């Protein structure tokens, strides 16, 4: 209910703002039309990739090699007045069974730059999270083919990419301490029964043959504070977001073991049949501390992510509360050797349960201990053929399979040590 009130409020606010701002700047609709016609910019990109692993399917059916790994987008932007800009980007992607090249709004918003220290956006905009969430859809803007999964978990990508609501941002320079940039967002995140979050919920409850019928949330908020000290190329950022009222409902086909006939034993198949599943998240919160240093043709980056998650599961009459904090971090370096070639190295660690880095709870749950961590060494190469074309090759060596997205794998076939190879070509304009 809160989400719909917020959306309607924002729509009404936008309907008031546009004519009000036109009046305030003494520019009429004809001037907006003329300005728009003169400077509409159009940009786009298309990426096609290939993934293959020697063991363990990761993100898609990679053991057999897969081309289900692409992204494409086109955007239009214009300046409506001296202070008001508008733009929209359409985007589609495919990664395994997620995306399936369905075109959606990536972002679409009005941006009113009132002062350098205060600007406002309304609409759907990229969500602040870490250094690279805002550009994670844009492959040609980084040397890596895949962002470090320890911080940029792929399964959450569809829901974390953008927030629909309102945004306030600004730049505050100081004489001694460099510059501070801030950005705060509030709105709603997109969830659907076909996205990565839903796949994750269904896969972790596959024993009950769970099929989700609804996934949604009330609202979310995000923040980003960036400090650029008086050292060229250096920046620090603290950012994160919280989702409120996230829930999932679905149908299951399961029997909860119970002594129905009161004979003191539970026979195979004896129990209470259940058909409904409810999941309420009391807390979903991500926080990231980031640092980046670009010096000459070198870029060094490091990020640390902490995620708190408290969920209440209800399967028929049974309720279970789970507190599962994730933790992940990485360090990376990239060097642009010349106009053609950039090389990158990174190391990352991810723990699906930050309180159990040895995998003991995995073993207790009937899984393997190495599903309690994932340590990844990655070599990335990028070839800029020209301003429009580039392609990448990447190899990752993994110790552990602590991914929270173990889809497409049979538990008995998961291996502790495995390689993932990626190749991708991108054209942009």
Instruction: Return d(Cα 270, Cα 261) in angstroms, integer.
Output: 9
Give min distance, CB of 403 to other proteins, in A: 21
Q: How many residues bind other proteins (CB under 8 A)?
A: 51
Measured CA to CA in angstroms, residue 199 lies from 62, 192, 195, 242, 407 at distances of 17, 10, 6, 20, 8
Q: Give yes or no for residue 97 binding other proteins (CB under 8 A).
A: no
Complex with other proteins: residue 308 or 399, whichever CB lies closer: 399
| Closer CB to other proteins, 7 or 395, in the complex | 395
Q: How far is the CB of 384 from other proteins (least distance, A)?
A: 9
- Residue 55: which of 411, 429, 420, 422 has the closest Cα? 420
Choose, by CB under 8 A, the member of 58, 69, 72, 107 that binds other proteins.
Answer: 107
Stretch that binds other proteins, among 96-104, 146-154, 274-282, 289-297 (CB under 8 A): 289-297
CB within 8 A of 29, min separation 6: which ones? 22
List the one residue from 232, 262, 268, 410 that touches other proteins (CB under 8 A).
232
The minimum distance between CB 225 and other proteins, in angstroms, equals: 15
Whether residue 207 contacts residue 98, with contact meaning beta carbons closer than 8 Å, is answered with no
Closer to other proteins by CB, 362 or 380: give it: 380
User: Measured between alpha carbons, how far is 11 from 5 in angstroms, rounded to an integer?
Assistant: 10
Positions in 37-56 near other proteins (CB under 8 A): 39, 41, 43, 45, 54
Q: Is 340 in the site for other proteins (CB under 8 A)?
A: yes
79 binds other proteins (CB under 8 A): yes
Q: 317 φ, ψ to 5°?
A: -85, -5
* Closest distance to other proteins from the beta carbon of 88 (Å): 8
Is 35 a binding residue for other proteins by CB under 8 A? The answer is no
What is the smallest separation between the CB atom of 130 and other proteins, expressed in angstroms?
14
Q: In whole angstroms, what is the distance from residue 157 CA to residue 161 CA? A: 6
Burial status of residue 317 (CB atoms within 10 A of its CB: 0-12, 13-18, 19 or more):
exposed
CB 290 within 8 A of CB 237: yes
Provide the mask over 357-386, with x wherever binding to other proteins is found by CB under 8 A and - wherever it is not: ----------------------x-x-x---
Q: How far is the CB of 8 from other proteins (least distance, A)?
A: 23
| Beta carbon nearer to other proteins, 47 or 353 | 47
Q: Tell me which H or E stretch contains 409.
A: none
Spatial CA neighbour of 204 closest among 414, 350, 404: 404
Give the shortest CB-70-to-other proteins separation in angstroms. Answer: 16
* The Cα angle at residue 2 between residues 109 and 319, in degrees rounded to 5: 120
- Taking residue 218's Cβ as centre, other Cβ atoms within 10 Å add up to 15
Neighbours of 167 (CB within 10 A): 22
Specify the residue, 185 or 205, whose C-beta has the smaller distance to other proteins.
185
| Rg of the chain on CA atoms, in Å | 24
Indicate whether 92 belongs to the interface with other proteins (CB under 8 A).
no
126 binds other proteins, rule: CB under 8 A: yes
| Residue 134 binds to other proteins (criterion: CB under 8 A) | yes
CA-CA distance, 188 to 7, in Å (whole number)?
8
* Site mask for other proteins (CB under 8 A), range 171-200, x = bound: x-x-----x-x-------------------
Tell me if 23 contacts other proteins by CB under 8 A: no
When asked if residue 64 is in the footprint of other proteins (CB under 8 A), the reply is no
Q: What is the DSSP string of 181-202?
A: EEEEEEEE----TTSHHHHHHH
Helix (H) or strand (E) holding 297: none
393 binds other proteins (CB under 8 A): yes
287-316 core/surface letters (b: 16 or more CB in 10 A; e: else): bbbbbbbeeeeebbbbbbbbbbbebebebb
Which helix or strand (DSSP H or E) is residue 159 part of? helix 157-160
Residues that bind other proteins (CB under 8 A): 39, 41, 43, 45, 54, 73, 75, 77, 79, 82-83, 85, 87-89, 107, 109, 111, 113, 115-116, 125-126, 134-135, 137-138, 140-141, 171, 173, 179, 181, 232-233, 294, 296-297, 336-338, 340-341, 343, 379, 381, 383, 393, 395, 419, 421
């Amino acid at each position: 209910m809160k989400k719909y009130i917020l959306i309607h409020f924002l729509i009404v606010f936008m309907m008031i703002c546009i004519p009000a701002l036109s009046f305030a700047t003494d520019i009429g609709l004809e001037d907006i039309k003329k300005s728009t016609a003169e400077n509409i910019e159009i940009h786009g990109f298309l990426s096609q990739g290939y993934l293959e692993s020697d063991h363990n399917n990761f993100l898609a059916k990679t053991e057999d090699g897969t081309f289900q790994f692409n992204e494409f987008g086109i955007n239009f932007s214009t300046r409506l007045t001296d202070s008001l800009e508008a733009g929209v980007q359409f985007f589609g992607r495919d990664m395994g069974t997620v995306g399936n090249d369905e075109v959606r709004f990536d972002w679409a918003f009005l941006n009113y730059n009132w002062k350098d220290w205060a600007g406002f956006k309304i609409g759907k905009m990229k969500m602040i999270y870490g250094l690279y969430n805002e550009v994670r859809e844009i492959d040609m803007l980084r040397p890596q083919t895949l962002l470090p999964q320890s911080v940029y978990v792929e399964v959450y990508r569809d829901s974390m990419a953008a927030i629909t609501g309102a945004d306030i941002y600004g730049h505050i320079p100081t004489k001694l301490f460099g510059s501070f940039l801030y950005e705060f967002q509030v709105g709603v995140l997109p969830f659907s029964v076909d996205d990565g979050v839903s796949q994750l919920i269904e896969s972790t409850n596959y024993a009950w043959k769970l099929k989700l019928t609804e996934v949604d949330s009330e609202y979310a908020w995000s923040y980003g504070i960036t400090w650029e000290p008086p050292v060229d190329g250096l920046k620090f950022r603290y950012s994160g977001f919280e989702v409120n009222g996230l829930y999932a409902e679905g149908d299951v086909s399961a029997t909860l073991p119970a002594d129905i006939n009161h004979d003191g034993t539970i026979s195979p198949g004896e129990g209470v049949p259940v058909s409904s599943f409810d999941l309420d998240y009391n807390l979903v919160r991500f926080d990231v501390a980031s640092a980046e240093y670009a010096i000459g043709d070198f870029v060094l980056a490091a990020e640390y992510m902490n995620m708190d998650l408290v969920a209440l599961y209800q399967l028929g009459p049974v309720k279970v509360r789970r507190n599962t904090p994730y933790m992940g971090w990485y360090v990376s370096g990239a060097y642009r050797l010349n106009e053609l070639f950039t090389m990158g190295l990174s190391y990352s660690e991810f723990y699906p349960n930050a309180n159990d880095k040895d995998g003991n709870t995995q073993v207790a749950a009937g899984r393997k201990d190495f599903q309690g961590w994932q340590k990844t060494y990655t070599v990335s190469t990028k070839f800029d053929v020209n301003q429009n074309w580039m392609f990448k090759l990447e190899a990752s060596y993994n110790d552990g399979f602590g991914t929270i997205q173990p889809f497409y794998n049979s538990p008995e076939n998961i291996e502790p040590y495995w390689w993932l190879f990626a190749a991708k070509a991108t054209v942009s304009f």
